[in-house]
Amino acid sequence: MLQTNIRNVAIIAHVDHGKTTLVDQLLRAAGAFRENQQVAERVLDSNDQERERGITILAKNISIIYNSVKINIIDTPGHADFGGEVERVLKMADGALLLVDAAEGPMPQTRFVLRHAIDAGLAIMVVINKIDRDGANPEAALNASLDLMMDLGATDEQLEFSMEHVIYASAVQGFARLDPEDGNSNMLPLLDMMIDALPAPVVDVAGPLAMQCVTVDHSSYVGRIGIGRVFSGTIHAGQKILIVKNDGTRTTGQVKQLFTFDYLGRRECKDVVAGDIGAVVGIDGTDIGDVYTDPDNPVELPPIEIDPPTLAVVFEASTSPLVGRDGDIVGGRQLKERLEQERENNVTMRIEELPDKTGVEVAGRGILHLSVLMEQMRREGYEFQVGRPRVLFKKGPGGERLEPIEQAVVECPNEYSGKVIEVFGNAGGSMIDMAPGITQTHLEFKIPTRGIMGLKNRILNVTHGESVFYHTFLEYGPFAGDIGGRPNGAMISMSTEKAVAYALGTLQERGALFVGPGDECYEGMLVGERPRPDDMVVNIARTKQLGNQRSSTADIAVQLTPPRTFTLEEALEYIMDDELVEITPKNIRMRKRLLTETERRKWNVRHGLVNK
């Protein structure tokens, strides 16, 4: 039967096309906020990193009531690194809003999330957003969106639905329109179309219980909370249920508490009916993919499959000479316990201790996916170090070696397109499309994930910062052979002291600096980059020798170029195999794995890299 009073709707889009802002406006239109209530922008991006980065990392569930219909809205991440979230939460939806920027049109990660929505069989309503922006072309954006749906294998029914149900909106201005020029100034046309056009859940209310857990939340009071959709029957507080794991194993448990989503919060309830989304408390050890069902009449649901990780990084306890100065948690045991806790919470990561117990390997979907965990841990007070990200290979049907391949897109001024193509060629990429415009050129490439690391900075350098660069996982393909690493050598500190302006003034003539006067440095730390490929050990604490005939104040002013700073993702992409990133609550430093020059020379001799 149809649950006509419920709609389950996912919002999918490329990064920064306005999903979370649109949800803000839907909440306002449905009366979620009191009149004159002060509400933060992007209210669903509650995580500090989400606000700072301007992206959604974790899928969110809210609900609104409009015309006596409960609309469960799922705000999904748009970045491919958080694809595990997208894949899971789409299982709760019957329809989707595809949000597309009216000026940019579909982008690489639009393709990523849209493919999953099409594969899930969702009815897709197209929302052309930012129609008030300079350069907006709603008609072109709509046509490009429909073309992309065809390319991704949308059914005739899905295409016909999307062509007939289009909304033109400005989430920032708070309006949605059936025609870009109709003058409507509120969000009601979008809410009306969601109720009238998107399908209601088709469920068996009288059948045996079947609910699948797609997200696990945690509470320090009640432990794990399983969140998912009820596909048939009704789940009751206090009910004894059968839990069927992804691997087929079965256990029993009892529902201690039930919650349903109510605007931005959760409301405790006695039961959750088929078609609705709820949260279950009391199932010890519940995990993603668990099916809660009737012990007497168990229902089988397909397991949740998630794309495998493509990159791995080893976390180790810090061995820096400055360890313990910034953070409170520096031990290897605490680091291991924190990562084991993450393993329980985060199904999209693979976390395993190394056989020799020297560290913990964390595998994820990309640099950003991994760096979000590192950033969260440093904010919790941890100090640790990580090695260079390692690409995860797999074997093909014939035993051949396969590696992850990315689709990369660059939008750059026409005059720089040749340099961008050259940079990609040197990194193992091959161009698959080129579309010159009046002022901008659209370039698309296939490139191994190994070649992506460090590529963004090189693209920005050759385009003088005037390019837009996106990439997303495409497929596994044949191993592409050796790809050149960082072309520049590093300047390495020879001592553990504070950097001195006089020394830096001399060194900046020989390359780019990473530190400024007064910065704490230590032996083996990377303090700059030189234009040549070989590393160079430097003295960052050298002072000027003063003679009797020279005043101590003469030439005291040294003109220094501001040091180059690195984000966590940039540092991970920059380092080489023999280098580490040291992460503390206050600093991100790069260093050699072996800190002394003597140790590094012995290692090179032992491995045949230099003559004895």
pLDDT at 590 over 90: yes
- Cα distances from 395 to residues 78, 354, 403, in angstroms, run 29, 22, 9
What is the pLDDT, as a whole number, of residue 461? Answer: 84
Q: What 3-state DSSP class applies to 151?
A: helix
What is the pLDDT, as a whole number, of residue 15? Answer: 67
Q: What tokens does 362 get?
A: 């964390």
The pLDDT mean for the chain works out to: 85
pLDDT at 39 over 70: no
pLDDT at 240 over 50: yes
Residue in this structure with the two tokens 């045996």, named with its chain if needed: 208
What is the pLDDT, as a whole number, of residue 527? Answer: 96
What is the pLDDT, as a whole number, of residue 255? Answer: 93
Strands 95-101 and 123-129: parallel
What is the pLDDT, as a whole number, of residue 306? Answer: 64
Q: What are the φ/ψ torsions at residue 265 (nearest 5 degrees)?
A: -115, -170
* Domain residue spans of the chain: 6-197, 210-293, 311-391, 394-478
Are 80 and 112 in contact by the 8 Å Cβ rule? The answer is yes
Residue in this structure with the two tokens 């050598």, named with its chain if needed: 489
The least confident of 216-220, 455-459, 465-469 is 216-220
Are 568 and 581 in contact by the 8 Å Cβ rule? The answer is yes
CATH topology of domain 6-197: Rossmann fold (3.40.50)
What is the pLDDT, as a whole number, of residue 54? Answer: 38
Q: What is the mean pLDDT of residues 241-263?
A: 89
Tens-digit pLDDT profile for residues 41-54: 333 333 444 334 33
Tens-digit pLDDT profile for residues 86-115: 777 888 899 999 999 999 888 767 777 888
Type of residue at 352: E
∠ CA 29-35-39, nearest 5°, is 75
Type of residue at 427: A
Superfamily holding 210-293: Translation factors (2.40.30.10)
Closest CA to 196 of 221, 223, 165: 165
Band the pLDDT of 60: cuts 50, 70, 90.
low
How far is 122 from 103, CA to CA, in rounded Å? 25
Type of residue at 267: R
CA-CA-CA-CA dihedral for 277, 283, 284, 289, to nearest 10: -50
How far is 97 from 12, CA to CA, in rounded Å? 6
- Cα distances from 394 to residues 399, 471, 533, in angstroms, run 9, 21, 32
What is the pLDDT, as a whole number, of residue 35? Answer: 42
Closest CA to 213 of 253, 154, 173, 153: 253
pLDDT at 85 over 80: no
Q: What tokens does 228 get?
A: 């998912």
CATH topology of domain 311-391: Alpha-Beta Plaits (3.30.70)
Q: What 3-state DSSP class applies to 286?
A: coil
Where is pLDDT greater, at 219 or 253?
253
Cα dihedral sign for 279, 285, 291, 296? negative
CATH topology of domain 394-478: Alpha-Beta Plaits (3.30.70)
Q: What tokens does 183 get?
A: 């003058």
Q: What is the mean pLDDT of residues 60-87?
A: 73
What is the pLDDT, as a whole number, of residue 48? Answer: 45
What is the pLDDT, as a whole number, of residue 56? Answer: 35
- Cα distances from 186 to residues 44, 192, 543, in angstroms, run 20, 12, 66
pLDDT at 529 over 90: yes
pLDDT at 17 over 80: no
Tens-digit pLDDT profile for residues 355-390: 998 999 999 878 878 888 999 899 999 999 999 999
Tens-digit pLDDT profile for residues 131-174: 998 889 999 999 999 998 998 889 999 999 999 999 999 988 99
Q: What 3-state DSSP class applies to 172?
A: coil
pTM for this prediction? 0.72
pLDDT at 273 over 70: yes
**Do 210-293 and 311-391 share a fold?**
no
Tens-digit pLDDT profile for residues 384-436: 999 999 999 998 888 899 999 988 888 888 999 999 999 999 889 999 999 88
